[in-house]
Chains A and B, each alone.
Chain A
């Protein structure tokens, strides 16, 4: 591998890792703060991608689709929390797994009935549809770089909200001791609803952003679900910062694994996970 390739592969790793972070951050919030194992998280990614496809076809612009899609995802998330997930907090994990697995099946069937089983493409917005020439044969799509920028902005914003705002303080407090927060007169149910809606919106946004480069297809959510759980576990359950570090580690492991040890590319990420867990069984940045 020459130096130029090495640099481009590093860029690939960062870009892939940041996109993974976007999907996994919602999962780690919901899993860590609310204690819900949400297998349907990948479905929200899929729903986001299909929203991008449908809304882009209707409005003619991906930006417009995202502007419309995020409120829809937030409302949808809040509704699901109210209708289903709010009944699960006191139940054990098996029941959560059953419900959320059932949701995967329901969402996939609805998707099949409403949009069909075809593969669709989503056009990249015209102002981002360009490439930067890196070597004489290789160029890098501007859109991929733009996704990375959006992911970095979101990571900073999430960090700020959770660490520096009153809402973030309540979320963290609710995570530590639900009963104490309630007795202080804070509406913990509302906090949970906000967190869940945020988790859904993050996954849906990841789906919408990824739609132009990954194309839109049935079962696309299940592909990201497993890797998201890997990131959550490596990073430390509930830690947004940990998820970012873990997503970047996975991005590097996957990218360089594919190039350096192509025969083993399927297991490199899992080897990394095993090593990290041997070293820190609670994940890299487990709180408390």
Chain B
């Protein structure tokens, strides 16, 4: 509720400033950040976490980026790809933002990236994992502070092959993120000598999993790899346990399977192992400081999305610093971001040529309400950026 009011306030302020023409007068000494994120719908919590993280860094930085005051233009993208192009264009041409930050939903992010490329506006993706964003559709103007779908799944494929697991069945929704995850897993797992005995898919967002569980029980693979997120993930994990499979066939997946869902799973998630670029119990000085401050400011625990928002702000700060604080010197901002080493709560990372984080992937285990870090399974993992000509 409070966030909604804050958001409404921000919107009202933005409108008021633009209408009064003050925006133009101040544009020279302010940095204008366009936050295009979901504030309603299924992904509302993610949009708010990213916003909180971004603002926390700005606040730690003295309320400034590149030595300038920050002004926000905020749009609720509703995770609706149909409105994405129009919303992004509004931020770029009407609000004249210096940087576009967004978003969660890959379909919306792809449309935003097209606007960013066409208008040569800097854009930082704080979540959407579509490989294409830093693959075939990569652009000098588009950066990502989160991950590619390929990364956590590839790391899981390596880890399982190393464990000596031979036969794996996979289940996912038949949409790009799910298919990219399974493809990343398959690539590493088969390279390590493993074999996929069956690849099962169902249409998004169908959650009737019982037929697949029966099929898994009859195939008896050594392990099962799945990509699911949100409510579907909670349901899959619960059903898997209820079918008695949890004790005989271990279940693995990228961290989206358990992040933010542990409450809804009850005890069914206990002991699940997942891979992601963030985890509980990292216990680095940076992460501890970040978490303490976040919990104080927003009265809740930060998650991976908050970290990605925080790092989006850090990345832009690094770029602005390199350009002497002037957002208009885009070439220098881009160069600054490309060569930056980001001191993230997840652990320091750099950016690949295609502008995706080169980062450590952790193996985590569910203990109680936490995804506790077990080990780094893939050090400095870089997305191959297939199809990127940059």
Contact = CB atoms under 8 A, between A and B. Distances in A.
Interface of A: 1-2, 4-5, 8-9, 12, 15-16, 112-113, 117-121, 123, 131, 133, 135-141, 143-144, 213-220, 223, 254-256, 258-259, 262-263, 265-266
A214 B242 CA distance: 12
A121 B238 contact: yes
Given A141-B242, A215-B234, A12 B207 contact: no
Interface string B259-300: 011011110000000000000000000000000000000000
A219 B263 contact: no
Contact of B215 (A5, A133, A219, A254): A5
A217 B248 contact: no
Contact of B265 (A121, A136, A217, A258): A121
B264 A215 contact: yes
B211 A12 contact: yes
Contact of A223 (B201, B207, B243, B248): B207
A258 B215 CA distance: 10
B214 A8 contact: yes
Contacts of B214: 5, 8-9, 12, 138, 259
Given A4-B218, A12-B211, A213-B238, A140 B230 contact: no
A123 B266 contact: yes
B242 A131 contact: yes
Contacts of A137: 217, 220, 244-245, 248-249
Given A4-B218, A119-B231, A137-B220, A265 B243 contact: no
A154 B243 CA distance: 26
Closest 5 CB pairs of A and B: A138-B217, A139-B244, A217-B231, A266-B203, A5-B218
Interface of B: 1, 40-42, 44-45, 174, 199-203, 205-208, 210-215, 217-218, 220, 230-231, 234-235, 238-239, 242-245, 248-249, 260-261, 263-266
Given A5-B217, A213-B239, A220-B231, A265 B203 contact: yes
Given A117-B42, A255-B211, 18 more contacts: A117-B41, A117-B45, A119-B234, A121-B234, A131-B243, A137-B248, A144-B210, A213-B239, A215-B231, A218-B41, A218-B42, A218-B231, A223-B206, A254-B208, A258-B202, A259-B212, A266-B174, A266-B203
Nearest to B261: A119
B264 A121 contact: yes
B244 A133 contact: yes
Contacts of A218: 41-42, 231
B230 A217 contact: yes
A112 B40 contact: yes
Nearest to B248: A137
B243 A258 contact: no
Contacts of B203: 265-266
B245 A138 contact: yes
Residue among B207, B264, B266 facing the most chain A CB atoms (10 A cut-off): B264
16 contacts: A117-B44, A119-B260, A121-B263, A121-B266, A131-B242, A133-B244, A137-B245, A138-B243, A213-B239, A217-B231, A217-B264, A255-B208, A255-B210, A258-B211, A262-B200, A263-B201
B205 A223 contact: yes
Contacts of A144: 210, 242
Contacts of A214: 207, 235
Nearest to A129: B242
B168 to A, nearest CB: 15
Nearest to B233: A119
A8 B245 CA distance: 14
A148 B142 CA distance: 52
A216 B208 CA distance: 14
Nearest to A8: B214
Contacts of A213: 235, 238-239, 242
Contacts of A135: 217-218
B272 to A, nearest CB: 15
Contact of B210 (A12, A121, A263): A12
B3 to A, nearest CB: 12
Contacts of B211: 9, 12, 254-256, 258-259
Nearest to B43: A117
A15 B242 CA distance: 15
A226 B234 CA distance: 23
A258 B212 contact: yes
Nearest to A10: B214
Contact of A120 (B205, B220, B263): B263
A14 B3 CA distance: 45
Contacts of A219: 41-42
Contacts of B242: 131, 141, 143-144, 213
Contacts of A266: 174, 202-203, 206
Contacts of A12: 210-211, 214
Contacts of B40: 112
A115 to B, nearest CB: 13
Nearest to B210: A12
Contacts of A112: 40, 44
- Chain B CB within 10 A, most for which of A137, A213, A263: A137
Nearest to A1: B218
Contacts of B208: 16, 254-255, 258
B42 A2 contact: no
B237 to A, nearest CB: 10
